[in-house]
Every structure is written in C-alpha cells, then in structure tokens.
Amino acid sequence: MSSDRKLWFMPDEGEPHQRTWMAFGASRKIWGKKLLPDVQRNLATIALAIAQYEPVSMLVRHSDVPLAQQLMGSKVELIVCPLDDLWMRDTGPVFVATENGDKAAVDFNFNGWGGKQDFDDDAEVAVFVAQRAGVRHIQTEVILEGGSIEVDGQGTAIITESCVLNTNRNPGVSKAQCERELKRLLGLEKIIWLPGSIGKDITDGHTDFYARFARPAVVVACYDPDPTSSDHAVTKAHLEILRASTDAKGRALEVVVLDAPSTVRGKFANDDFAAGYINFYVCNGAVIAPEFGDERADLAAKQALQRLFPERKVVQLNIDGIAAGGGGIHCTTQQEPMV
C-alpha cells in the first residue's frame, strides 16, 4: 500500500458541499426499454431537487445530451463523458480534504461490483471527475465503492464486510490490511464493521442501505420487521452491533430506526425494488429522500428525518424507476466538499 504524509480525512456528508456530482448514464442495454424513460426522469428529478440548494454537475454521454438538456435545462451543468451506468456514488471518487484546505479524490478502482456488470467506461469516471474538479487524484490498491463507506467526519466509519472484504473485490486482503489502508486514506480511527449480505443484490450489501450517520454518535439504521424477508436477520444483527458500539471518541451510538414501507406502488414493484428510506442524500440545506406511496411509512420517515436534521428541509421524491433497479438517491450522487 502506498504512503502519503498528508493527513487526509473524508468529511461528513452534512458538511458544506462545493457541488454534487451525478451521472446521466442509464442505458436500454442495462435498464430495458420499459424502465429507461422513468429512470432518466428520476435522475433529472433528483438533480433538479439538489440544484435548488447547491450546484450539480451531471456527466452525460454525447448521445444523451439533447434529452438531458430537455429534462434539466440550464439548471444542471452537463459534462460529456463516456458512461456505462448511473451510479456516481460507486463509480466516482471519494473526496477527501486536509485541515489546511487541500482537497483530493480517492479512486477506489471500480470493478463493476466484483465483475457483475460492464465497467470499462465507469472505471475511468473517478479519474475524470478528479481532473474536472481540479484536485489531486489519489490511487490505492483497495477495490470498493463509495456506497460501502459511511463516515461521521470525526474518525469513525461504518462499513459492510460483505462488500469490502469480498473476494470479488479484494482477494487475499485481510480485514487488518484493509483497515490500515482505509484509515490512512480517509482519516479514520475506528471502523464499525457490519456483516452485510453477499449476493442479495449487485452491490453485495452496501452500507448506505443499512446505516447512516445523521451526526456524530447518531446513526439512522433500517430494520426489516418481516420475518420471511432475507433482510430481517441481517438488519436485526446490524442493530445489535450498532447499539453495542462506540465511536472513535468513545461515545455510545444513538440508533434511530427507520422501518421500511409495508407497500410500494405497483407499477415497478419487483424482487429487486429497493424500498427503504436510509438511502437519502444530505446536501446544503436539505435532505433529499425517497417516498414509496405508503402514506404512513412515508410520513413517519419524513418526520424522523426532520427531527434528525432540524436545520434542513426534507424533500421527498418518487424515484420508483431507480428503486426498481435496486438503487436509491444516495447511490446516484457523490458530494464534493467545500474546503
């Protein structure tokens, strides 16, 4: 593993952003004819919602520029770039900073979630974004995606073992080796490992569908109460680990549970549908979160997020097309911190 004398750290998502990066990369090949138009509209809806609070830079294939302009107008910056798909959280770099105001972008070597999908173009996105942002590009031998990392900005991270310690990403790399490198790159002092779930979805169980920091020592976690669900035992185990954990400062974690909706709108419901409220995105002045048509659960999630983020407006969006593909709002975004 490479050495670096600068003390880099990954800021908390709630710290001020310079911009949000996204990718208008859905294709018929991956998403299919039925889902594609809705997914593209969902991406525009997310981008326009965020653009009310901070600048949004959207990567877009040359052939999709006219449609992107039609959907988003001049409110979102469009940047032509080859793309395989839309998951900027995973393909883009993870931005880090120093206390002196330097900024860099860590490239975690996106490999299609362990070779599950074509990634030739998306593997180049992290370098492209770093260059476009005008910041240093930091390389590492570790392979992972941004969706597997959740930090509090004060030295603590929550990471799923099922993703990062998976042989389809980091064969032969021990947990101790992985910890050393992530601590160096992201300014971490403590990693809370959750087991996650291998093979249930394309990501092998990203953290940002299970647990998120609302602020230091306060974690929002999901719980699937359905005993017949494959996520029931996983989320129950996660809650037990989180409730027994302390952060890097020695503080016990306060764990706030967001129950999944009991129903979703029928049009796009399928086995891959990602029906959970944890995959929200915190931008300057707002929390951009999903709603699924379950009035009781949608309202409960909105009220819980409003209590957790009292200084921000909670904006709920219908992103059923993206959810039908197993993703959420957080998965489509990557924050560039302001330093």
At 158 the pLDDT is 98
* Rounded-to-10 torsion of CA 240, 242, 248, 252: -80
- Condensed to tens digits (0 to 9), the pLDDT of residues 248-276 reads 999 999 999 998 898 999 999 998 899 99
- Condensed to tens digits (0 to 9), the pLDDT of residues 64-89 reads 999 999 999 999 999 999 999 999 99
Count of other CB atoms within 10 angstroms of residue 141: 12
At 2 the pLDDT is 46
**Distance separating alpha carbons of residues 277 and 316, to the nearest angstrom:** 10
Give the angle subtended at the CA of 106 by the CAs of 314 and 160, to the nearest 5°: 65
The residue behind tokens 């959907």 is: 71
Q: In this structure, are residues 260 and 298 in contact, taking their beta carbons and an 8 Å threshold?
A: no
**Distance separating alpha carbons of residues 312 and 305, to the nearest angstrom:** 9
CA atoms within 13 A on the CB side of 163: 30
What pTM did the predictor assign? Answer: 0.97
| Residues noted as catalytic | 331
Identity at 324, one-letter amino acid code: A
Mean pLDDT, consecutive 10-residue stretches, the chain (339 aa), reads 70 98 98 97 98 98 98 98 98 96 97 97 98 98 98 98 97 96 97 94 95 98 87 94 98 95 92 93 98 96 98 98 97 97
The residue behind tokens 């944890």 is: 278
The residue behind tokens 């390389």 is: 139
**Distance separating alpha carbons of residues 216 and 8, to the nearest angstrom:** 19
Q: Could you name the CATH architecture of 17-337?
A: 5-stranded Propeller (3.75)
Give every CB contact of residue 330 below 8 A, 6+ residues apart in sequence. Answer: 89, 147, 208, 279, 280, 281
Q: In this structure, are residues 207 and 160 in contact, taking their beta carbons and an 8 Å threshold?
A: yes
For the four alpha carbons of 251, 303, 239 and 286, in that order, the dihedral sign comes to negative
For the four alpha carbons of 133, 38, 35 and 305, in that order, the dihedral sign comes to positive
Measured distance between the N- and C-terminal CA atoms of the chain, rounded to whole angstroms: 27
**Distance separating alpha carbons of residues 194 and 165, to the nearest angstrom:** 11
**Distance separating alpha carbons of residues 20 and 192, to the nearest angstrom:** 27
**Distance separating alpha carbons of residues 279 and 65, to the nearest angstrom:** 27
**Tokens at 257, concatenated:** 């549970």
Q: In this structure, are residues 313 and 285 in contact, taking their beta carbons and an 8 Å threshold?
A: yes
Q: In this structure, are residues 50 and 134 in contact, taking their beta carbons and an 8 Å threshold?
A: no
At 3 the pLDDT is 46
The beta strands (E) that lie in 63-115 are given as 77-80, 94-97, 103-107
